[in-house]
Chain A
Amino acid sequence: MAIKPNIGQPLNRLEGRQKVTGSAKYAADYHVPQLLYGYVVNSTITKGKIVRVDTSAAKALPGVVEVLTHENRPGLAWFDLQYADMDAPPGTVFKPLHDNKIRFNGQPVALVVAEEFEIARYAASLVQLDYEEEPFVTSVEANLSKARPAKKGIATALKPPPPAPTGNFEKAYEAAPFKVDAEYYHGNEHHNPMELFATTTVYEGNGKLTIYDKTQGTINNQLFVANVFGLRYKDVRVLAPYVGGAFGSGLRPQYQLFLSVMAALHLKRNVRVVLDRHQMFTLAHRPQNLQQLQFATDENGKLTAARHAAFVETSSYEDYTEVISSWSHRLYPISNTRFEYKVVPLDLSTPTDMRAPGGVTAMHAIECTMDQLAYKLGIDPLELRLRNYAEVDPSTEKPFTSKALRECYRQAADSFGWSNRNPEPGSMTRGNKLVGYGMATGVWDAYQFPSRIEAILTKEGKLMINNAVTDIGTGTFTVMTQIAADELGLPIEDVIFGYGDSKKPFSMFQGGSSMTSSTGVAIVMAAKALKKKLLEKVKEMSDSPLADADEKDLVFRNGRIALVNEPSVHINFQEIVAANKGQAIKTTKMGKPHLLKLRKYSKMTHSASFVEVEVDKDLKTITVTRAVTAVAAGKIINPRTAHSQISGSMVWGISKALQEESVIDENLGKYVNANLAEYHIPTHADVHQLEVIFAEERDELINELGVKGVGEIGLVAMPAAIANAVFHATGKRINKLPIHFDELLE
């Protein structure tokens, strides 16, 4: 009998008290004795080589312990492969302080280690470096001639290259009565989590390290450190119980980890390295890209032809890719398609997945193109989506495990008041403001990765669940506890979830909106195994009242196993532990997706966003006054934390559409707004009414929990919906993000 009192409940975050009292400890918050402070020196040129290093002035400063550069660093692993983390794209991974070559502006070139943070920072300014500069390139638009297909590798398994063309795009496009040909451009964006990238390495002696790191993957970084520095896996422990946001920037080990560990091993001391905000712009970022779209429909608005070509930045040393060009074909049936993806290698650091990578990039272009088509056809933009609604995945002809997108459209449109929209651009006003309504569709993959869970009935009769997964602010800790509590019939307070620690059983890094399905399903599997074990123990117990009971007549509830029909006949967990000579009872189980069964299906989450903007008639300043996003993502375990994931993503949508961009000076090859005053993200004053709707979506196929993940889907539709609303308000199509108000000035 399934009783799930916790799943579906809007529980407050279990770590809430720690977070509001300041006792939650992040990577740079650990007070360890005899701590040394490392400060990174970054390259001031974009490409070339270091020809002279002079660290004498820095070293002469009292309090400075060491200055490490490529000239004096300790010997390291020889093979590039040993530096490759689980998320490394094809190519040659960047190795800090490896040689004198400079590959991007801000590349780490030295680490100053001192007894005090201020001394380290000051000494870093005394390190003298002479460079020989070489010409460099930092713009996709200006270097389209360098575009080429991306190399393939292990990490591209999740990011397949575009599918082969279908039908005959050229012919169909040529013949179509309605068509749109448009180009879209996105600049670079940086994740900018509030927490600075930081690593505190505790040197334990005997080749052992305890590392507090800002990461989305404790095991990924454990393997990286062990491989690079030639340590035994079991001697490297990476801990990240609290992560101050990451959004993808913590998927790969970042250079402060490498430098902190290198210094700790070299000096046999505890070392902390914290990047400053400017240095945060020298690592992960969302790549700049140019997209060309040509979509066509028949007289009735049915899509007949689609071409989507993406030209996307990568670095000079790794071929980072995203899935961009083929998304339209997973959303709309189109007979004639041509999808292309090319990388443009630039002299910038390798891009890294940033919230809804590829998906939000593509859907901005696709859904703005659809909006243009709706205007050409003279039909409502929502009606155009419904006319092209796919009942099966058009790209594979496979049915969906579930798809409640139609419900998303309906509920969001109703709540928003879409029917009040006058389609004529510039026709709706409010005082001195032009009012625009825009809508767009979102789509994202529903991933599930293998995850291993240790489930323990403790001596005290509580359930302990162990897994290496992190909680980067997503609510993982709370959600996993809810799942575990229901599975074993325990109240929340009797479940202990141990996480954020590489010593715990395997988890992939936290990405792809996959943790609730990956870790959650594994918890269900492990709890089932534990229940089986407990039942075996119960049968073995002398004078057990349940000795003859059939398994299906028993229920786990409130810390006891009882007869369904006669709950007074029961055995407490504590009695089982006592019968087990007071010892805890353990199981370990791997949870994995049902690949064979799921091969026949398409697994996706969907969303629809409806946005209202106000544009000042004179100044053209744009405000997102309200937005409604409806999401279909299977079962929602915790509506409160899931709501925050979606509304937080909607704020990201506002940011991407109207605010954030990393501006590159192409003459200097560097970001000129590498700080939080000039890299704009929404402040409280920029965020107005946001409504989140979860459309009911029962999914019996996808996994044991029926969950799909909510970390990214809330962002995907927003930028296009905002851009379409800006068009509706002003009659102007601005296909470059972020939209600047000055582009709307006559």
Chain B
Amino acid sequence: MEKAIKRFWPVFVLPTFAAFLIGFVWPFLQGLYLSFCKFTTIDKAQWNGLKNYLYALTEAEFLHSFWFTALFTVVSTICINVAAFAIALALTRSIKGTNVFRSVFFMPNLIGGIVLGYIWNILLNCALTLLGKPLLSLHAPYGFIGLVILMCWQQIGYMMIIYIAGLQSIPNDYLEAARIDGANDRQILWRIKIPNVMPSITICLFLSLTNGFKLFDQNLALTAGEPNHLTEMLALHIYNTFYARSGAVWKGYGQAEAVLFCILVIAISLVQLRATRSKEVQQ
């Protein structure tokens, strides 16, 4: 059977592979090469060695955007997961209307980043005006808090779904046995529920970590990096280095920053792979 299928590779593999070459492999390799070059268009690339990387690693704005992104990611990861887990716990008790609540909390997840960003931009700016405080784009801490609120609103529902699936897969026997042995609610939560949903927790933590690091649309729509690039996250910073500056050197810097960004995201994913694998062994 394998031989019969093998002969049909032009039918089965070629369409996807050709599109994959155009849409991923070729641009990726070219991008890797260009990160060592000085260029404005692809044809006019001059070899530049490691200069782009050296510049990127010392540029204050890039480093600021890195720390801003890291801080944002940590804060939003904690907020999202604590809230999502709490809601999932509440929704797995037999309360009336669980399905309605679940649908409502999940809904923002389907709306795109640009639209979400504008919705919250309008809402938060109105609230700030009424409170007599500076607008989002004028005061960086508000921009930061706004981004965290926006991400919570969008992601809590998603993580909640994963936690609910995890909580529902705990065999009821465990809970009953614990109750018969006289465990109280807190003990059941810490000794039975949390250890048993560890796989879900790992998945959610890494999902929110990578989502936080890769965030672009929401950042662009909510604050656009204002004031003065202070709320600019990595992805947006790279975008602005590419497209918002004129001069022969910037595209090279942007590409080098993009490669560093890529390495960072890949590293996080590798750690995730490790973590999920070792969890699987334990079970």
Whether A associates with B in a native complex is: no
